[in-house]
Amino acid sequence: MKHIFFLAVALVAAILPVVNDPSVSGWINGGVTFAVISAFYAILRFTSSKEIWKDFLTSFWGAVIGLIVFGLMWSFFHQWGTSLNQIWLEFAALGVFVVTGAFTVASFFREFKILAPQVEEPAEEEANDYRESQPKILDTSIIIDGRIIDIASAGFVENPLVVPNFVLREIQLISDSPDPIKRNRGRRGLDMLNQLQKRKELTVQISYKDYTETREVDAKLVKLAKEIKGKLITNDFNLNKVAELQGVEVLNINNLASALKPVVLPGEEMEISVVKEGKDENQGIGYLDDGTMVVIENGGKLLNKRVKVSVTSVIQTSAGKMIFTKIVNQ
């Protein structure tokens, strides 16, 4: 029923020339009026929705077919209406033919998918461009971290990756720091950038946009993300919160790492190396491959030994998970 209102308006406009001149020329003028209004309506629909355009076009051509059939039978209906002295019968017959034609052709198209131009699917390259259209902006911490390289190469982060120029400057400043720890972090960041650009499967773009009104790199990152409608990739907790408060979508690598940690349930058994003593008496400490701390009851005297333990409980802390275990009796 989506086209009923349009058809009613078009029919009223098409009927007016016939009322003024009930001859063949009047009917032709009415048909032309109907076609012009239909074309205008089609243009409006096409600019708003291609799916609605396809539905409309099929109904439109069905209405035109109905109008043509009525025109071929016009003399019969004209005589019929004149003999009954009821000219409105001609209008009623016109409406029946047009509406019937519209819905018949539309239904036929939906069944067999013909009579209307198909909306072309984007080419493979265009589809890829669409999927990759939302930039992923890298901050300083995520570049120095380096895990983004493997994550993006594995296909879990879509291209393109955007490195702002002000982030590059910050990494260069860190690499020139007199503090040896900061200097090493900065040099690692430059190495990570070099590796990132060498990956052929990744698209890395340098953004030269800058915001001189602020000196804070975090504020610049948020502004850039909002301007280019990109996602911000970081492992900085404070930047994460600030960006979310301003409506910027954030991908936090630390959250991803936490989500990928294996689920350990009480009662499960595992083998682990005791690497140091715990805070409590006769307590040993070990670590899983992902860095999760494992507390081993009565394991303080088993340093540098690999033991089989059973999980007793798992506690989630602000620093991550802690697994409490006891040694399995051999």
DSSP at 230: -
Pick 245 or 82 by higher pLDDT: 245
Q: What are phi and psi of 219, to 5 degrees?
A: -65, -40
Give 110-159 pLDDT, tens digit per residue.
554 443 334 344 444 444 444 446 899 999 999 999 888 888 888 888 88
Token reading at 139: 């901050």
If you search the block for the tokens 């995520």, which residue do you land on?
142
Give 6-59 pLDDT, tens digit per residue.
556 566 556 655 665 666 566 666 666 666 556 555 555 544 444 555 555 666
Token reading at 4: 């009923």
The residue type of 57 is L
Give 154-180 pLDDT, tens digit per residue.
888 888 899 999 999 999 999 999 999
Q: What is the value of pTM for the model shown?
A: 0.49
Strand-pair category, 231-234 with 136-138: parallel
Beta strands (DSSP E) in 165-274 are 204-207, 231-234, 250-252, 269-273
Cα diameter, the chain: 115
Token reading at 266: 């009480």
